[in-house]
């Protein structure tokens, strides 16, 4: 039996919209065993990760968090 691990992160558009726009081209381009996608509605962004086990799930989550943190740091420096 093959299990998959899934993670869904909800981010408010008004807070994270610009940062997510900056890293949007990178989402889904991470090589490895996990898949990522981004969806949105009028108020929120939803980041999804699906993987066959926890190792690639953690790697994708870490990559997403690092990219988001980098964009936020650069934005603060520019302002």
CATH code, domain carrying 34: 3.30.310.50
pLDDT digits (tens, 9 = 90+) for 46-61: 999 999 999 989 988 9
Total H helices, total E strands in the chain: 2, 3
* Rounded Cα distance, 61 and 48, in Å: 10
Q: Which domain holds residue 49?
A: 5-78
Q: Does pLDDT of 40 surpass 80?
A: yes
**Structure pTM?**
0.80
User: Facing residues of 5 across strands?
Assistant: 51
* Rounded Cα distance, 39 and 32, in Å: 21
pLDDT digits (tens, 9 = 90+) for 13-38: 999 898 898 888 888 765 678 889 99
Question: Confidence band (pLDDT; 50, 70, 90) for 78?
Answer: confident
> How far does CA 2 lie from the centroid of its chain?
24
Asked if residue 56 lies in contact with residue 44, where contact means CB atoms within 8 angstroms, the answer is: no
Residue 33: the pLDDT is 85
Domain count across the chain: 1
Please compute Rg for the chain using Cα positions. Answer: 13
């Amino acid at each position: 039996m093959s299990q998959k691990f899934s993670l869904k992160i909800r981010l408010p558009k008004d807070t994270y919209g610009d940062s997510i726009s900056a890293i949007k081209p990178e989402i889904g381009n991470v090589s490895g065993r996990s898949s990522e996608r981004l969806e949105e509605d009028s108020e929120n962004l939803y980041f999804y990760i699906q993987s066959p086990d926890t190792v690639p799930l953690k790697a994708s989550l870490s990559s997403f968090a690092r990219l988001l943190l980098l964009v936020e740091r650069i934005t603060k420096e520019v302002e």
